[in-house]
Amino acid sequence: MEASFWHQKWERGEVGFHENEINPFLIKHFKALSPPKGGRIFLPLCGKTRDIGWFLANGYRVAGAELSKLAINELFTELGITPEISTDGKLTRYRAENLNILAGNFFDISAESLGPISAIYDRAALVALPASMRKQYSSHLMHITDAAPQLLITYEYNQSQMGGPPFSVNEDEVKQLYAVAYRLESAESKIIAGGLKGKVPSTETAWLLHKIKQ
């Protein structure tokens, strides 16, 4: 999937994937990861999610990664914050108190540029990527975060009935991608009322990924 696909989505305002409310799975299950007070939470492919405001309001620090500078600018505007902007290699860094967003290609992010991470919240990153990219994504995510504990949200539906994103990612694939480093726990699943995008029956699942102690 080309970067231009996402740039065009934001430029056209085609952001149906952007939720106007805090994700209920986040509120209900994130603390089961036992993140430390003031911990630094990483949100890959974060867009302008309102979930960032929830983390900040609950005393966490946030690190994010996002391809679209338009999305990042809208995020800071909606938060009422003016960021400091600097260049970090191929990336652009947007920094404010307790908030640090890297703009650019996710695969250009290194562990050094990201910094230490206490936990990961993936609501819309893995499911935004086609199957051909998900292995590369998950491997890189584990590498740059030292496999920090993770709350992962997935959808499962008949992919032949609707194209993604969000794509269908079933339990077997989650295990294939992450069982090498994590103990996986299905925290909750629910049927999406009216179907995903109002088109296809779908189940939404919250996964808790606990790092396996070596």
Q: Is 210 helix (H, G, I), strand (E, B) or coil?
A: strand
| Average pLDDT of the residues in 108-113 | 97
Question: pLDDT tier at 11 (50, 70, 90 boundaries)?
Answer: very low
Domains defined for the chain, CATH in brackets: 3-211 (3.40.50.150)
Q: Residues marked as binding?
A: 10, 45, 66, 123
Q: According to the model, what pLDDT value does residue 96 have?
A: 97
DSSP state of 107: G
Q: According to the model, what pLDDT value does residue 16 have?
A: 46
Phi, psi values for residue 173, rounded to 5°:
-70, -40
Which residues make Cβ contacts (< 8 Å) with residue 17, sequence separation at least 6?
A: 47, 124, 128, 165, 166
Reply yes or no on whether the pLDDT at 20 is more than 80.
no
Query: How much is the mean pLDDT over the chain?
Result: 91
Q: According to the model, what pLDDT value does residue 214 have?
A: 67
Q: Residues marked as binding for S-adenosyl-L-methionine?
A: 10, 45, 66, 123
- 163 compared with 34, residue with greater pLDDT: 34
